[in-house]
Chains A and B, each alone.
Chain A
Amino acid sequence: MNAAPIAIRAAFSYCVQQVRRYDYHHYLSLLHLPPAMRRAAFAFRAFNIEISRAMDLTSEPRVGLMRLLWWQEAVDKVFAKKLVEQPVARALSSVISEHKISKQWLKRSIEARINDANREDNSIPKCTSDLEKYAEDTQSTILYMTLQAGGIQSTAADHAASHIGKASGLLLLLKSLPYHFGRTGKIPYIPADVAEKYGLLTTINGRSEIVIEFGEQISEAVFDVASVAGAHLQKARGLASTVPQEAFPVLLPAVSAQVLLDSLQRSHFNVFDSSLARGVLGISPLRYQLKLKWYAWRRHDGIRAIERRTDRRKCTADRAGLGNPRTPLLPPPRPRSSEISKPNFCTTTNIACIVPYADDAISASSKLLEINPEIYTAWNYRKRAFEQRLQESTDQELIKSLVEAELRVVEAALRRNPKSYGAWYHRKWVLNRGVVEVDFDREFRLIDQLLKADPRNFHGWNYRRFVAKLKVVPEVEELKFTMDMIDTNFSNYSAWHNRSALLSCMLSTKVLGFDERAKILAEEYELVRQALFTDPSDQSGWFYHLWLLDQTVSPDEVLLVSTWPPHGSDWVLSIAENPACYKLSQLSSLSNYFLQSGKLPIVLYFNQSVKGVKSSSISVNSTFLKNEDLVWTPVPPTKSEEALCWVTYLHFQNIQQCDSKTKAYSIEVDLDHSQNIISSSGLHHCHPLNLRFHLTLSSASVRHSGGELVDDLFIWNCDGGDSAEESNIIMPFDQLNISGHPVPEFCRWKLETINKEKNLFTEISEENCKFVKLTLARLLVARDAMLSSTTPVTERLIHLRDALELFEDLIKLDPKHARYYEDQRSLVLMNQIQFPLIRVLNVIPNSSGCLLGLETLQLLTCLNLGHNKFNSFTAFGPLKFLGSLRVLDISFNEIGSHSADTTRYLFSSPLSHSLELDKKFTLDFCNAKIKASEHWEAIILFKDLNLKQLDIKGNIVADENFRDLLVKLLPTIRWLDGERL
């Protein structure tokens, strides 16, 4: 029959363990109870832990509730002397068998917990008294029972226990706010009336909820509740003289309540202050224990003890008397919100506010940065402090030590995070101040260490460039360093990149030994080949190769590649009856153009982006206009005023006044040696050029035929019947065949190089390596671009087909990046039609999702983009610049298949999407019950276009509403999806 006592002993030791683990401050105070009461008290505290943790142990409220209900039954069973196989229940039944304990206290505390658990998720206690009741039910009951177990029957003691229980219950609830907030994201234990008082209450869907702003309001609310608790403590204190001596140990929890209250006050009632979580109730465990011991030993209860303490602290408590319980607590000061959200940083900013650039603040910031180098405020603080100290001190040694200190902080920070932007920047900043001589050996040693740890740390490389520049290290040496790094590990993108940066610089400034571009590039090709052939699947080498290729193909001089009207062409300009329209036809061929509003464009197309094209650099001589009046505009218009293509318009308003209607005028375009036309890389156009074409004005009336003037439905000529040369997507450049252009040596080398690379990579292309294929495609395209002037179209078609095939392969080989390859393919296709004079363009179905460069087709009137892969209206952005576009087919694309077009976030600034809609538009849409916001992309696109014919069927977006919108947007439209409007 020994089993039972053993089991009971085990049950009690379990209780003690639980209390020690989850309720340490009470555990410590329970130790001061006389042994007889201690057993019971531990059982009650353990029971309290069981029921208070019931809800926290599970994320499913119902499960927690089940647990509570089980305990309700268990209490019944315990009092019915039934065996419950649970250690705490065993302990309880043992206690009950020894002492007379009222069942109601246990039941009350469970019920309170159940009620709390049953509370709606979002609801909060109505008023402070609700909270007080809950506190009494959960905390005071334990004290009552402990008193019962000690056989103490005193009304005063019970009364004091009630107050102390309420106070400690309330304070513990406040202390647990961060825990509950962290768990549920809500603040459950601030009563609604208090919350409302401080404007913390919002009502969402009929439920009240507390808004969390880490401002002073929450602290105010906490202060209010804490004041109530403080009042209870005061009341208990008032009863101290009547409470029997033997009850005092039971009431020791008053000490913990007071300690918690003090801690709260210290943290200005910011319950989120981390100091509260430290130690026991915010003070060190040792201090807490000493406190308890002191009061227990003095045979004082907590109540009287606190009285003394408050006296000593000269709080206003006693002076104000018990009548006003709230005064003893100092209201929370108004802390800056940043302090609350960044508790770690409080020290620095605080100190900074008080004493500018105090030593301890500076050392605190260095410690802070050592822990977390990402705090920019601290770096900035150091910078300011450094500046000020620098001004104050004249002693060279002191300055040296200041710099030294800064450098050391940076090094410590880098040890924590070698990729900290702030740290690197700080070091650069300090060195750039130039107050002391830079110890370059040390800097390079640091870089070496860092690059040894991580040779691809681009911060290290960046810094190396900085130091090298500061020290004026010859570029050749740095180049050698990159070579060493590549030799150690050639999969080092940073090293390759640095090499490319250095070489670009050296080639452009023509450093000694680097003036022969071809030779240097050839050497680099040789080097990168070693890497590529060793491991074709490593991408760093390919990036370098791409850079080399770019260096190779990028034009080394500015050339005018093509013009319109072509040099030496003859034109007849017929004036229609309608004065707004002109027909322009070429004598030698059948092609003719219709010009609206009497403007004849002159288009210049350069081989690279140039700026400075204006009437002062290009003179257009003709009898009927003045050169100075001409305005050249880049196409497309860009902020940088750089473009491949430049346009000016000759106006013919006065032509009808001209008498000699059949006279041929000659128009000359002169590009002299002017240095004004400059490419983005700083090259000048230096080939003087004289272009000439003839224009005959004819008064013969124009037949009302041709697409422009008639409202007929434009039928796409799919098999390329009558206008073969136009529907073919590959249009030859109207290359200027200006003789006397010397073919430079370098050009020949370029072509040879590209051919050589192409042959090399064709050899290993069977390896199915995506980089090989991509590079091969790029080489083919580059070669094409170079050869375009000399090779016939048919041959180029073959190359193009090869490149397109490669892209097809790539899409299959690497489906993850299929979109990229598709875009590249579109670009290849689009690049074929750079020449700005196509009127009708049929883009091959299923080939394109990208229209870059299309804006140069200034005379385009008919565009067929049907059966492609455009998925939003933003993709058609370039069309906005096509003023003469009349017929557009975008049927059977994927517009509307994605709710949001993500690509626009990649490429343009958010500001570029501000909606410039007229009020009128918006109003109209409102009337038509069309939500403009849903279709603003379409609105922006179409409101600038003067379309006559639009096909949009086969797109997800094209429903009846949308058609209505289009009709509104496009007043000129005649044909929509093949139907006459």
Chain B
Amino acid sequence: MDMAENFLAHQDYPSIEPNAFDIIVYGTGLPESLLAAAAAAAAGKTVLHLDHNPFYGSHFASLPLPSFSSFLQSVFRSPPKSFSDLSASTSPYDVFELESRRVYSEVEFATSQPPEPSRSFILDLCGPRVVYCADMAVDLMLRSGASHHVEFKSVDGSLIYWDGRLCSVPDSRQAIFRDKSLALAEKSQMMKFLKMVQGHIASGSAAGAGAGAGAGAPEERFVRMSPQDLETPFAEFLQKQHLPPKIRTIILYAIALADYDQDCEGSCGNLMKTKEGLERISLYISSLGRLPNAVGAFIYPIYGHGELPQAFCRCAAVKGALYVLRMPVSAVLLDKVSNQYKGVRLASGQEIFSQHLVMESSFTVQSSVSSLLDNQDFHYSKHSRMVARGVCITNSSIHTDSSNILLIFPPRSLLPEQSVTVRALQLCSNVSTCPSGMFVVYLSTQCHDATVGKECIRAAMEALFRLPDSSSSEEIFSSDNENAGVSKPNLLWSVVYIQELAQASIGSIHSSPMPDGNVDYQNLLETTTKLFSKMYPEAEFLPPNKASENADEDGSQSD
């Protein structure tokens, strides 16, 4: 009660006109913003978009370092429950309190103070994250006009941690040529493989999307792989191509961006099929050189990923969506008879009605009704319920040549118990998230167990940086590091935390996905698209190009 009164004391909740909308979206994360934009722009619905935070983006936001720290720690507080008692008697509806799930846990800050000015560090909550140039996200932004609100910088390249050293990822013909660390035979094999994949893709596009693996390939050059091959695990397929282990690892984890150890039979649920692997490589290859200024396959938004949800929110606002920040939703109203969703009660006490409600999946209604809002989970993955994330600040670059780089630590490369890829992203000041001369490095790994996850993150940090407290481990590294002359960057500040993964679900109340453990937005966007088409089966999701999206969905479903 105190809390709620405090809220009321210094914050006048505005009243919202009208009190009925087609759709209420709660939370301004990327999926919610996208849904709001799609509903407002494409489907022509009236949208009320709410967020209890004073900023846009929710868990997808980029925050100045002090706010970032406080957000990580303070987010557990539950929304005010002030009006629940009052309403029960008067309301013609069943009122269910909204509960907030705990999203961040085990937040561990470095002992050292963050470098000043700390406000000029803008940190992503969901890092490390990049966008493929040929990503659906880029298409959506172009289609919706959100691209006018965001600018991007190129991610210069990828490095892979191999044999205790960071090697560049030869992802294109030119990169293969330049890479001095590859043997001649490896170059030849890598190039042959890429050509084969390109041939496969070309044959697919030539034969038409639906034609399947036809017997008569149009040209001999474009050899399409057999359907049996496509169903085998990708790792096995690569083995069959006689690729050397290093090349295999590069393809699996740095280009196809596989999460789990593909050689481990135990986690068979996560074994990548050849089809999926080839699709991912195809996405990667088509990303290379798609945008004129992008050097590699990935881009990063200037001012951080928080810009993306904001851009979509602006699109929605342009189309008439109503935006209210700092407005917690306290309860959900259900029809007493049919138990159907009717509306929400805001922290201000106002009741707003709508046909649909989309909430961040960190919010749940009381467990008694959760059965009514039957969950239809999207994600098959039952292994990864959490992501361990880390943010580091350094004053020099990991790699001398490039400043914005993606780093891949394949499974088992850091610790024997590391079964998941650890990915890191170093950003320099040219994306305007840190002062010049400083670097921000994001790390993440999916995990089942918080301690293992955090250990992996720490191991990766140790591999990359000279930690201020542990001089001993650094010596071990520098001794087997061949580039002994190049000193590792000093770690100035860091935070490690665990983020719960919550899946999207469809019911009478929809919940939208949380940031996942991937480095890109592919999965999130697919889920969001599906959510939208469930709500408005007749409407297009950010037209004009619905057909291609459907094709994408079909593709992912048949996986």
Task: Spell out A's residues near B (CB within 8 Å).
Answer: 487-490, 529-531, 533-536, 760, 763-764
- CB <8 Å contact, A534 and B185: no
Give the distance in Å from the alpha carbon of A489 to the alpha carbon of B289 in the complex: 13
- CB <8 Å contact, B178 and A487: yes
Given A533-B185, A534-B173, A535-B177: 16 more A-B contacts, CB < 8 Å:
A487-B174, A487-B177, A487-B178, A488-B174, A489-B174, A529-B184, A530-B178, A530-B184, A531-B177, A533-B184, A533-B188, A534-B176, A534-B177, A534-B188, A535-B173, A760-B184
Q: What are some 22 contacts across the A-B interface (CB < 8 A)?
A: A487-B174, A487-B177, A487-B178, A490-B174, A490-B177, A529-B184, A530-B177, A530-B178, A533-B184, A533-B185, A533-B188, A533-B191, A534-B173, A534-B176, A534-B177, A534-B191, A535-B173, A535-B177, A535-B191, A536-B188, A763-B185, A764-B188
B187 CB–A CB distance under 8 Å = yes
Give the distance in Å from the alpha carbon of A534 to the alpha carbon of B186 in the complex: 9
* Closest Cβ neighbor of B178 among chain A residues: A487
Q: In the assembled complex, which residues on chain B have CB atoms less than 8 Å from the CB atom of A530?
A: 177-178, 184, 187
In chain B, positions 38-84 with a C-beta closer than 8 Å to chain A are: none
In the assembled complex, the CB of B546 is this many whole angstroms from the nearest CB of chain A, namely: 38
Q: In the assembled complex, which residues on chain A have CB atoms less than 8 Å from the CB atom of B187?
A: 530, 533-534
Q: In the assembled complex, which residues on chain A have CB atoms less than 8 Å from the CB atom of B173?
A: 490, 534-535
Range class of the B interface residue count: 10 to 19
Q: In the assembled complex, which residues on chain A have CB atoms less than 8 Å from the CB atom of B177?
A: 487, 490, 530-531, 534-535
Give the distance in Å from the alpha carbon of A490 to the alpha carbon of B187 in the complex: 14
Q: In the assembled complex, which residues on chain B have CB atoms less than 8 Å from the CB atom of A534?
A: 173, 176-177, 187-188, 191
Q: Which 9 A-B pairs have the closest CB atoms?
A: A533-B184, A534-B177, A533-B188, A533-B187, A534-B176, A534-B187, A490-B177, A534-B191, A530-B177
Q: In the assembled complex, which residues on chain B have CB atoms less than 8 Å from the CB atom of A764?
A: 188
Q: In the assembled complex, which residues on chain B have CB atoms less than 8 Å from the CB atom of A488?
A: 174
Q: In the assembled complex, which residues on chain A have CB atoms less than 8 Å from the CB atom of B188?
A: 533-534, 536, 764
Q: In the assembled complex, which residues on chain A have CB atoms less than 8 Å from the CB atom of B191?
A: 533-535
Q: How many A-B residue pairs have CB under 8 A?
A: 32
* Closest Cβ neighbor of A538 among chain B residues: B173
Give the distance in Å from the alpha carbon of A489 to the alpha carbon of B175 in the complex: 9
Give the distance in Å from the alpha carbon of A490 to the alpha carbon of B178 in the complex: 9
Q: In the assembled complex, which residues on chain A have CB atoms less than 8 Å from the CB atom of B185?
A: 533, 763
Q: In the assembled complex, which residues on chain B have CB atoms less than 8 Å from the CB atom of A490?
A: 173-174, 177
Kindly name the residue among A488, A489, A535 whose own CB sees the greatest number of chain B CB atoms within 10 A. Answer: A535
Give the distance in Å from the alpha carbon of A763 to the alpha carbon of B191 in the complex: 16
Give the distance in Å from the alpha carbon of A534 to the alpha carbon of B187 in the complex: 5
Task: Spell out B's residues near A (CB within 8 Å).
Answer: 173-174, 176-178, 184-185, 187-188, 191
Give the distance in Å from the alpha carbon of A488 to the alpha carbon of B174 in the complex: 7
Kindly name the residue among A488, A530, A534, A535 whose own CB sees the greatest number of chain B CB atoms within 10 A. Answer: A534
In the assembled complex, the CB of A762 is this many whole angstroms from the nearest CB of chain B, namely: 13
Give the distance in Å from the alpha carbon of A529 to the alpha carbon of B185 in the complex: 10
* Closest Cβ neighbor of A490 among chain B residues: B177
* Closest Cβ neighbor of B186 among chain A residues: A533
B contact face: mostly helix, strand, loop, or mixed: helix
* Closest Cβ neighbor of A537 among chain B residues: B195
Give the distance in Å from the alpha carbon of A533 to the alpha carbon of B177 in the complex: 8
Q: In the assembled complex, which residues on chain A have CB atoms less than 8 Å from the CB atom of B184?
A: 529-530, 533, 760
In the assembled complex, the CB of B210 is this many whole angstroms from the nearest CB of chain A, namely: 32
In the assembled complex, the CB of A268 is this many whole angstroms from the nearest CB of chain B, namely: 53
Give the distance in Å from the alpha carbon of A531 to the alpha carbon of B185 in the complex: 12
Give the distance in Å from the alpha carbon of A760 to the alpha carbon of B184 in the complex: 9
In the assembled complex, the CB of B190 is this many whole angstroms from the nearest CB of chain A, namely: 8
In the assembled complex, the CB of A180 is this many whole angstroms from the nearest CB of chain B, namely: 48
Give the distance in Å from the alpha carbon of A763 to the alpha carbon of B188 in the complex: 11
* Closest Cβ neighbor of A541 among chain B residues: B177
Q: In the assembled complex, which residues on chain A have CB atoms less than 8 Å from the CB atom of B178?
A: 487, 530
In the assembled complex, the CB of A89 is this many whole angstroms from the nearest CB of chain B, namely: 50
In the assembled complex, the CB of B1 is this many whole angstroms from the nearest CB of chain A, namely: 67
Give the distance in Å from the alpha carbon of A535 to the alpha carbon of B177 in the complex: 9
In the assembled complex, the CB of A522 is this many whole angstroms from the nearest CB of chain B, namely: 15
Give the distance in Å from the alpha carbon of A535 to the alpha carbon of B187 in the complex: 8
Q: In the assembled complex, which residues on chain B have CB atoms less than 8 Å from the CB atom of A763?
A: 185
Give the distance in Å from the alpha carbon of A739 to the alpha carbon of B187 in the complex: 46
Give the distance in Å from the alpha carbon of A540 to the alpha carbon of B173 in the complex: 14
In the assembled complex, the CB of B394 is this many whole angstroms from the nearest CB of chain A, namely: 28
Give the distance in Å from the alpha carbon of A536 to the alpha carbon of B177 in the complex: 11
* Closest Cβ neighbor of A530 among chain B residues: B177
Give the distance in Å from the alpha carbon of A531 to the alpha carbon of B178 in the complex: 9
Give the distance in Å from the alpha carbon of A928 to the alpha carbon of B316 in the complex: 99
Give the distance in Å from the alpha carbon of A763 to the alpha carbon of B184 in the complex: 11
Q: In the assembled complex, which residues on chain A have CB atoms less than 8 Å from the CB atom of B174?
A: 487-490
Kindly name the residue among B173, B174, B177 whose own CB sees the greatest number of chain A CB atoms within 10 A. Answer: B177
Give the distance in Å from the alpha carbon of A529 to the alpha carbon of B187 in the complex: 10
Give the distance in Å from the alpha carbon of A536 to the alpha carbon of B189 in the complex: 11
Give the distance in Å from the alpha carbon of A48 to the alpha carbon of B333 in the complex: 84
* Closest Cβ neighbor of A489 among chain B residues: B174
Give the distance in Å from the alpha carbon of A530 to the alpha carbon of B185 in the complex: 10
Q: In the assembled complex, which residues on chain B have CB atoms less than 8 Å from the CB atom of A487?
A: 174, 177-178
Give the distance in Å from the alpha carbon of A433 to the alpha carbon of B500 in the complex: 74
* Closest Cβ neighbor of B176 among chain A residues: A534
In the assembled complex, the CB of B64 is this many whole angstroms from the nearest CB of chain A, namely: 39
In the assembled complex, the CB of A771 is this many whole angstroms from the nearest CB of chain B, namely: 13
In the assembled complex, the CB of B293 is this many whole angstroms from the nearest CB of chain A, namely: 13
Give the distance in Å from the alpha carbon of A763 to the alpha carbon of B173 in the complex: 21
Give the distance in Å from the alpha carbon of A556 to the alpha carbon of B104 in the complex: 74
In the assembled complex, the CB of B220 is this many whole angstroms from the nearest CB of chain A, namely: 12
Give the distance in Å from the alpha carbon of A535 to the alpha carbon of B185 in the complex: 11
Give the distance in Å from the alpha carbon of A533 to the alpha carbon of B184 in the complex: 6
* Closest Cβ neighbor of B189 among chain A residues: A533
Give the distance in Å from the alpha carbon of A536 to the alpha carbon of B185 in the complex: 12
* Closest Cβ neighbor of A527 among chain B residues: B177
Give the distance in Å from the alpha carbon of A743 to the alpha carbon of B401 in the complex: 45
Q: In the assembled complex, which residues on chain B have CB atoms less than 8 Å from the CB atom of A536?
A: 188
Give the distance in Å from the alpha carbon of A529 to the alpha carbon of B184 in the complex: 7
In the assembled complex, the CB of B368 is this many whole angstroms from the nearest CB of chain A, namely: 64
In the assembled complex, the CB of A490 is this many whole angstroms from the nearest CB of chain B, namely: 5
In the assembled complex, the CB of A536 is this many whole angstroms from the nearest CB of chain B, namely: 7
Q: In the assembled complex, which residues on chain B have CB atoms less than 8 Å from the CB atom of A529?
A: 184
In the assembled complex, the CB of A299 is this many whole angstroms from the nearest CB of chain B, namely: 62
Q: In the assembled complex, which residues on chain B have CB atoms less than 8 Å from the CB atom of A531?
A: 177
Give the distance in Å from the alpha carbon of A587 to the alpha carbon of B187 in the complex: 62
Give the distance in Å from the alpha carbon of A536 to the alpha carbon of B187 in the complex: 11
Q: In the assembled complex, which residues on chain B have CB atoms less than 8 Å from the CB atom of A535?
A: 173, 177, 191
Give the distance in Å from the alpha carbon of A533 to the alpha carbon of B173 in the complex: 11
Q: In the assembled complex, which residues on chain A have CB atoms less than 8 Å from the CB atom of B176?
A: 534
In the assembled complex, the CB of A423 is this many whole angstroms from the nearest CB of chain B, namely: 27
Give the distance in Å from the alpha carbon of A170 to the alpha carbon of B149 in the complex: 69
Give the distance in Å from the alpha carbon of A530 to the alpha carbon of B179 in the complex: 9
In the assembled complex, the CB of B517 is this many whole angstroms from the nearest CB of chain A, namely: 34
Give the distance in Å from the alpha carbon of A782 to the alpha carbon of B173 in the complex: 31
Q: In the assembled complex, which residues on chain B have CB atoms less than 8 Å from the CB atom of A489?
A: 174
Give the distance in Å from the alpha carbon of A535 to the alpha carbon of B173 in the complex: 8
Give the distance in Å from the alpha carbon of A357 to the alpha carbon of B187 in the complex: 61
Give the distance in Å from the alpha carbon of A487 to the alpha carbon of B184 in the complex: 16
Give the distance in Å from the alpha carbon of A358 to the alpha carbon of B174 in the complex: 53
Q: In the assembled complex, which residues on chain B have CB atoms less than 8 Å from the CB atom of A760?
A: 184
In the assembled complex, the CB of B550 is this many whole angstroms from the nearest CB of chain A, namely: 37
Give the distance in Å from the alpha carbon of A760 to the alpha carbon of B173 in the complex: 20
* Closest Cβ neighbor of B188 among chain A residues: A533
Give the distance in Å from the alpha carbon of A531 to the alpha carbon of B187 in the complex: 9
Give the distance in Å from the alpha carbon of A535 to the alpha carbon of B191 in the complex: 7
In the assembled complex, the CB of B323 is this many whole angstroms from the nearest CB of chain A, namely: 44
Give the distance in Å from the alpha carbon of A535 to the alpha carbon of B176 in the complex: 9
Give the distance in Å from the alpha carbon of A330 to the alpha carbon of B187 in the complex: 80
* Closest Cβ neighbor of A529 among chain B residues: B184
In the assembled complex, the CB of B55 is this many whole angstroms from the nearest CB of chain A, namely: 42
In the assembled complex, the CB of A372 is this many whole angstroms from the nearest CB of chain B, namely: 30
In the assembled complex, the CB of A161 is this many whole angstroms from the nearest CB of chain B, namely: 63
Give the distance in Å from the alpha carbon of A488 to the alpha carbon of B176 in the complex: 11
Give the distance in Å from the alpha carbon of A104 to the alpha carbon of B368 in the complex: 104
* Closest Cβ neighbor of A760 among chain B residues: B184
